[in-house]
Structures are given as C-alpha cells and as structure tokens.
A and B are shown apart, each in its own frame.
Chain A
Amino acid sequence: MTWTPEQLQQHRLTTDEYRRIEELLGRAPNLTELGIFSVMWSEHCSYKSSKVHLRRLPTEGPCLVQGPGENAGIVEIGNGWCAAFKIESHNHPSFIEPYQGAATGIGGILRDIFTMGARPVAALNSLRFGPIRDAEIDAASEATSAAAIARNRRIMAGVVKGLGDYGNAFGVPTIGGEVYFDKGYSLNPLVNAFALGLVRREQIFYGKAEGVGNSVIYVGAKTGRDGIHGATMASAEFDEAAMEKRPTVQVGDPFSEKLLLEACLEAMREQTILGIQDMGAAGLTSSSCEMGARAGTGIEIDLDLVPQRETGMTAYEMMLSESQERMLIVAVQGRERQLLEIFQRWDLDAVVIGKVIEEQVLRVRHHGAVVAEIPNLALTDEAPRYQRPLQPVPVDETDVAPRIAAAIAARRAAGASEAETLGQLLAEVLAAPNLASKEWVYRQYDHMVRTNTVVLPGSDAAVIRVKETRHSLAMSLDANGRYCRLNPRAGARLAVAESARNVVCSGAQPLAVTNCLNFASPERPEVMWSFSETIDGMAEACRALGTPVTGGNVSLYNETEGRGIDPTPVIGMLGLIEEARHITTQWFKQAGDQILLLGRTGRDLGGSELLSALTGEACGAVPSLDLSLETAVQATCLAAIRQGLVQSAHDGSEGGLAVTLAEACFSSYGREAIGASIDLGAHAAASALDDPATLLFAESPSRIVLSVSPERTAQVLALAREHQVPCEILGVVGGEQLHISLDGRPLVEAPVASLESAWRSSLPRHLDQPPA
C-alpha cells in the first residue's frame, strides 16, 4: 500500500475503502486523487450511511417535475410555472464560526436553487441552539454552565446576523422558519437553511455535461485556499505544500452571489448554457464528476486556467477548495463568446477551463501534466454504501400525568385559586423560548423584499404571492427533537403532520416535502436505528398526506465530545393556494365570531412544553397520531377555508390548546389584540377528559382552532360531520381577557395584554443582556 494507515485516517478513508479505490483505478491513487476520493466518498457527498434508507421515502407524485438527485426538487405550481426548493444544513461550520457558517449556509442553498434556472423568492430557516436563559444555568453541567449559556447566546446572535446579512444583501426575503432550544444543541447547534425559487417549466436547467467537445466554463469568484476539507488538512505532504493553513469555514460574499445570480439567469435566458452546477461542497471536484456522470460523458479541466485568489496553489488544494460563489457551466456550442460577455458585464470572472470528453472520467491537468484521472462512476455511483448495524432503543412510554399533577399542586400557593395558578403557568409556557415570539429573530431579516410577502412572519406558515401566476405558496419548517428522541418514528410522523397542518391552516393544499435529517454518528447503532425509524415514520406520513419527498439533505456526526444531538428531522412543506382570498392567518379577527375546534385532545403530555416548564424534564409517551384523522381534519379545514367560511385557522399542537388560543388573541400587523371566552366542557366530554392541565396543555396533533362568523358555524359543523371529524364550539371572540373555563369552573382568566407581553418580551430579555 502506498499510503500509511495514518494518511488514510486523515482522509477519513478506511482500509477497505482504500482497497476498493485501488481496485476501481487499477493502481494506487496519487495525493490529489486520494483527496478527491476522500471528499466524494465522505458522508456529506456520498450519503454512504443513509442511502439504503432514503430509498424507502415516497418520491413520486402528480405535481413532481424533479425528485431527489438534482441540485433541488421541483414541483409544478400552475400556469407553466414551477417551484424549485430545498433545505440544507450548515451545522458544523456554524458552531465553529456562527456568522460565516450561517452566511455560507444560506449562500449554498440559494445557489442550488438558481443553478436550476429558478430565481430565489423565499428563504426560511430552522435553527436549534443550547439554552439561553440564566434560569437554566447549572454549574454542574457543561451544556448549561454560565459560560455555555453565554456562548449559546453569542452563537445565536451570530447565526441570525449571518443569515440576515447574507439574505438581506442578496435580496431574498427570509419569511419564516423555527427556532428551538435544548441543552442537546449546546455543543452542536443546528442551522438548516431552506430556499425556494420560481422557474418556467421549459426553462429548467440541469447539472449535465452534454455534448462531447463543448466548452466547460468556470464562472464567479476566484478559487482560494479557504474551506479545504477539514478532515484532510493534516497530511504531511499537504502541510508542506500549503504554506499556511486556512480555517475550514468559508467566507461568504452575498454581493458576488447576487451578481452571479443575475449573470446566470441572463446567460440562461440568452440560451448560452447547456448544463450548470454549483461548486458547493468539494467545489470543482463534485461539480465536474457529477455533471459528467449524469450525462454519461467526462470532463477534462486544466487547473492553470482556473481563476485563483492566491499563488502557488496545488492541484490538491484547488480540487478541494470550497471557495464560495462559483459555478461550473457547459456552454452551448457557438455561444461561448456571448456567455463570457454576459459574465464580464457583471464584473465576474468567466473562463473556459476545459471541455466535455467522451471517456467517462474526470481528468485534471496542472502545469502540463495529468494530475488526476478517475472514472466518474467511481466517485459517484460506485461510492461505498453501508448497511450499518441498527440497535433499537426502547421507546419512552412513561405516563407523565402524575408528575405534572404533583408539580402543579406543589406550585399552587396557599390561598391561590386554580385559575391563578394555571394562568400563571400559561404565561410561563408562553414565555418559554421554544414558544415565545421570534420577532427578535425575524426583524433582523428583510422579510419583505420582492414585495410578495402576503403573510408576515409569525403565523402558522409563511405565504408569498406569485406575481406570475396569481397563485400563492405557503411554506413551513417543522421538527421536534424531543419527540424524536423519545420515539423517532412517531416524532417524524408528527413533524410531517404538523408541517402539512401549518400549510393547510394558511389555506394551502400541501404539495411536496423537502427534508434535512440531522443526526449524531451513524457509526453508533442506536443512532442509525433512530435514523431508520425516522425514515419509516416520514414515509408513512408523507404517503398518508400525499406529499412526496423531492430531496433534501442528511447531516450526520452532529456530536461533540462524544455527545450526540437528539434525532432532528426537519420537514419543509410546500403548499399551493390557488386563490388569494383563501389566504388565512392564525389570528382572531372579529368580536362575536365563534371559536371552533376540529379534532380531539388526548392524554398527550409526554415531551410537552408544560412538562419542561414544570420539571425541566423531557420524557414520556409522545402524542399519538392517527393519520386518517389527521388527513380528515386537514381536509375539513381546507374545505371550510375554500368555501369562505373561516376567519382564522391555527394549528393546535406545541404548547397545547391554551397556547394556541392565546396566540390567536395576540396582536399582529394592522390588528389589535382581542380576547376570547372559552368553555371546554363540551370538548372535554367528547374527548373523555376531565383534567384541566391535559385540556389546556396536551400537545395532541390533528387539532385546528377556527374562528367563524356565527352565521357560518352550522356550515362548518356540517362539513366536519361530512368528513367524520370531531368538532365542538369552544366559545366566542371578544373582550380583553382570555377566559377559559371547564363547565363553568374557571381555569384561566388573564388579560391578553399580560400574556402577550410575557410571550413577546421573552427572547429580548434573554438575548439582549450585556455580556457577563
């Protein structure tokens, strides 16, 4: 063997994998080739641990134009227009350098979208950090020490600013998403960025290197030593060649990206481009071998021609550089000059660096010699696939109700009424960072640029209008790591169901899903088991709801110092609203409107926010989900919205019914806060429940709170009956209090203003503290 075990380990290749490389090449690889294999066979590029499982996801549906395997998934949205959308993780870089890590995360996903010819029109993000409250400081735990809490705040501030600065300058509105906190993310925050773009069906571009002899053109920023694969940086030869080491986190330049977007879209419109791919992870390497592999051709490039930011770069460095804002293009024959002129007009580098060749190889020349020659398939289809061992973990089925009852009893101060105690608890749950207003975050994002944002951040789903079609698109990102730790299969099902429900509440028909699967090390059998369970849970729910998976991203090895994160599959749901008048928000609109609840409440307090607020624990049986009831509830809600019967619709899951009702009361843009008077008697009887805490705080899925003008109530009740969905009248909108009772017994009597203030002031209070 030419390479020592240490060198192989530095390249994260096993001895078996190395043997396979020699077999595929028929010889030993040189250093550049070893680097190329290392990066293409990495978990990130090859999906070697996840691929065997991902196959079980449903990937077909009537609206689907492009499923998994391309830069982004594409669905048809009417009138010849399509939406390209995808989500990707940038977890590790964001921990090392929150600002640049997050910025390059959004930069990468935007390129994936416009690579396909689609102009990005919306961004969302799903963020997870460690705790940020002083109250959670526990000197005994590394994840919640005072220093950790301060660091978590810094990471969050840096990530939000990085996402904002990049998206704002690029000119894409960041219109929604989610932010969660748990000590499991203290040493491993999650930053998942979602983007969506619009493209005419006949103008979609693919990453294919077609037409032997066609020019291969490098466009965009120059290549530097930044972002060279961290795992491979330490080999002795490499140290010697690289005079200085650079951080493995890349630096984002939204201005270059904006120019690249405009130039690429113009070059596409002018029909000068045949195939195009973003140089993302593994930059030049992945773009050239994947474009060749997809077309059954090869690509030959000459590194001497590559625009370089610094001198003396080796072939190894250039092939592995992850400098941002670069694209590889195969030009239409005869249009090369025009293509180059378009990029020059936008002050961007554009250089012919090679050509499409017949042999299905990636051939790299440098200083006149061939420095790498590898069959494309060896890097793509022939990459290793592992069926890693699975070790089931018992699902948590603890009944948490007694603990909750005891904790509430202990809290009830002498002489305090039940309503005072529960009202206080509601304010506390509303102020929990997971449920509190995320205004602190989204006001740092330009969420209005492109003038399409018809539902501002804060409602169940983000909604943009599509000027080109008069339709609108609703989007939601959802996950619950807590549930997924307690029961990964059920947790994944719940995430898909909630995401679809959010989109339905905004008036949209769910169309398709993208996903970002954040897990710890696949080499641990219990992690791999939770991954496998998650896939089956997602598959079941996506089938039931008729929403195929169009692609996504897998992020493994999310662990630091041996401690992994909770399994966190993030679901991105896209829905279509055909008529603007169907766009619905979560807020009560009009005093006198009746409040209805679709669905049933169950004894679903396991893993709930209430449990966490009372005991700091996250355990118990996760909420049970009946997918046929879920589909029926969603169908009822959508039918009621489409028939013009509904004033507001709000998903009732996380935090429970009391939180859902309070949120519907809170003020929103152009609308004052308004109260509600609720009696849960009928719903309690129908759900066979009598425990106040369960009624107020259980996180049962498949529930939607509607508000309806009194003259329409009968029609909504009839619709629910038609769909065999339980539906009761809970009460009426009006006043300044949120008043909830159970058969006349007061449970909550609180001014909406004080609940709203607890909810709204929480994040600023924790995040705007001067550093200790």
Chain B
Amino acid sequence: MKFGVVVFPGSNCDHDTYHVISKVIGQPVNFIWHKEDSVEGHDVILLPGGFSYGDYLRTGAIARFSPVMRAVTAFAAEGGLVVGICNGFQILCEAGLLPGSLLRNRDLRFLCEHVTLRVEETNTPFTRAYQAGQRLSIPIAHGEGNYFCDDATLAELEAEHRVLFRYCAPNGELTEAANPNGSRHHIAGICNRERNVLGLMPHPERAAELSLGSQDGRALFVSIVDHLNERIGRRA
C-alpha cells in the first residue's frame, strides 16, 4: 500500500498530510513533484491544501495544468483513490474530476476555525470507518470554500448520495449559522459518481491527533487503509 502526496508550487499542507500518513496512520508515503507525469506505484493520491500557484488566477485553475494532473486523471479513471483537501478539492473541481466549484466565502473573509461536520454517507472508501450521522469536529482554513453548482448538478449529487460531509450545528442540525462559508446544501465534501474521488474543504489531517484537540479526521485515513487492505485481500 502506498500513498502519494502531490507537491504543487505553493502547496503548504503537503508536510502535514505526509506526517499523518507516515506517523499517525503508519503507512508508506512519498511526495510526488507536480512536474512528474506518472503516479505509478501508488494506491492513493492526495492533493494537499495550500495556495498552488498563489491562487492568483483562480483557486486551482493553474495547478490543473500541471503534468501530474494528467496522470492523476488517468489514475482516477482506472478506479484509483484520489483525495483533494481544501486547495486539493479546488483543483479537482477545476480539473473536472468533481463537479461544481468553490466560491469566495459568504462574508468574503478567510476563515480558520473548528467546525462541526455531519457524516452523510458511509458506503465510500473514505467514510466506511465512520457512522452515518456521526458528528465530527474538524478545522477549516480557507477563503474560497463556498461550494456552488447548478441546480441539476445539486439534485444529482443528492440523488446519488454523493454528499459525504455537511457543515452542521453541534447537535447535527443544518442551521444557517452553522454553515461557515455559504455552501449550497451545507456541502463540505463530495465524491464522484464512481465514489473513488473525494474532495473536501475541511482538513482531516489537522484533526488526527489528540494533542491537536480532535482525532475526528483520523477515520478518513483509516477508511482508506481498510478499503485497500480489503482490496488487496480480495486480490490475493
């Protein structure tokens, strides 16, 4: 089992993601430079948070043209697991691997704080270690996390149970005050139709150790490991 963390110029959660995989989850991991054109040898590709290319044109808009993204797209098409966190989610939307886009936060400010998420679906490789309806405390840190898509796409996401995480109040209710950035339907994370590509704005890698206040993000990585172990087991 091998994790790969893509490093774009301007990625800044690459070390954090690497740390969680290697030290907390205890799985082999390496960095993949954005100029590489292959991701061979990896079972999971993680696109970390940060400000790829300074987010100068539009978040993720330049990174999607990095050579590595062609390889990631091909990898996803073959069923490989891909996770985009924060800026990684933005890149996946720009690259067309996930629908919709991330607009500026409702109050136009960067926002860094712990939020409560509700786990909506557990039948994915990324959420199988969670309980449906489980509430998680995980931080966000973004200026552009306001998930937007057209009505048809939104209906499709809902009908196909592809909304995996929603922002909610501590009691699980979907109140306006609990939606930190104005996302449609409180969306914090979605997957593709094939359920092998996940994008989410919150940072599970920042909530994987007790010393940081929350371990609620850990099960996302554990889910992936369980899924891959099962797949490898089936193959054997």
Residue numbers of A with Cβ under 8 A of B are 161, 164-165, 168-171, 253-256, 258-259, 346-347, 442-451, 453-454, 456, 465, 467, 580, 669-670
Contacts and interface: CB of A to CB of B under 8 A. Distances in A.
Interface in B188-208: 203, 205-206
Nearest to B16: A451
Given A170-B12, A346-B9, A467 B213 contact: no
Nearest to B203: A448
B213 A449 contact: no
A292 B56 CA distance: 38
Contacts of B112: 168, 442-448
A144 to B, nearest CB: 27
A670 B10 contact: no
B213 A258 contact: no
Nearest to A451: B16
Contact of B53 (A165, A255, A445, A465): A255
B55 interface: yes
Contact of B12 (A256, A346, A442, A449): A449
Given A448-B203, A451-B16, A467-B19, A164 B110 contact: yes
Contacts of B55: 169
B206 A451 contact: yes
B141 A449 contact: yes
A191 to B, nearest CB: 18
A467 B212 CA distance: 12
Contacts of A465: 211
Nearest to A467: B19
Given A255-B54, A446-B141, A669-B213, A347 B9 contact: yes
Interface in B104-130: 109-114
Contacts of B19: 451, 467
B54 A456 contact: no
B2 interface: no
Give me the 9 closest cross-chain CB pairs, A-B, nearest first: A171-B12, A255-B54, A169-B51, A446-B141, A451-B16, A446-B112, A448-B206, A444-B110, A443-B113
Contact of B214 (A165, A446, A447, A670): A670
Contacts of A259: 9-10
Nearest to B17: A451
A26 to B, nearest CB: 48
Contacts of B110: 161, 164-165, 168, 444-446
B179 interface: no
A670 B215 CA distance: 12
A454 B13 CA distance: 17
B111 A253 contact: no
A447 to B, nearest CB: 6
B230 interface: no
Contacts of A161: 109-110
B111 A444 contact: yes
Nearest to A169: B51
A453 B137 contact: no
Contacts of B10: 169, 255, 258-259
A766 to B, nearest CB: 16
A451 B9 contact: no
Nearest to A348: B9
19 contacts: A164-B110, A165-B110, A168-B141, A254-B54, A258-B9, A258-B12, A258-B51, A259-B10, A442-B112, A443-B112, A445-B112, A447-B112, A449-B13, A451-B206, A454-B212, A465-B211, A467-B19, A669-B114, A670-B137
B212 A451 contact: yes
Contacts of B20: 451
A146 B138 CA distance: 41
B84 interface: no
A451 B205 contact: yes
Given A164-B110, A448-B112, A451-B16, 10 more contacts: A165-B110, A255-B53, A347-B9, A448-B139, A448-B141, A450-B16, A451-B20, A451-B205, A451-B206, A467-B19
Contacts of A169: 10, 12, 50-51, 54-55
A446 B13 CA distance: 11
Contacts of B141: 168, 446, 448-449
Contacts of B12: 169-171, 258, 449
A254 B50 CA distance: 12
Interface string B73-97: 0000000000000000000000000
Nearest to B211: A454
A456 B12 CA distance: 19
Interface string B52-70: 0111100000000000000
Q: Which of A168, A256, A456, A670 has the most CB of B within 10 A?
A: A168
B138 to A, nearest CB: 11
Contacts of A164: 110
Nearest to A670: B213
B213 A444 contact: no
A467 B20 CA distance: 12
Interface string B169-191: 00000000000000000000000
A702 to B, nearest CB: 31
A634 to B, nearest CB: 25
Interface string B118-159: 000000000000000000010101010000000000000000
Interface string B213-231: 1100000000000000000
B54 A450 contact: no
Interface in B28-69: 49-51, 53-56
Contacts of A453: 212
Contacts of B56: 255
B209 interface: yes
A171 B50 contact: yes
A677 to B, nearest CB: 28
A92 B54 CA distance: 26
Contacts of A669: 114, 213
Nearest to B52: A255
Given A168-B51, A169-B55, A346-B9, A449 B211 contact: no
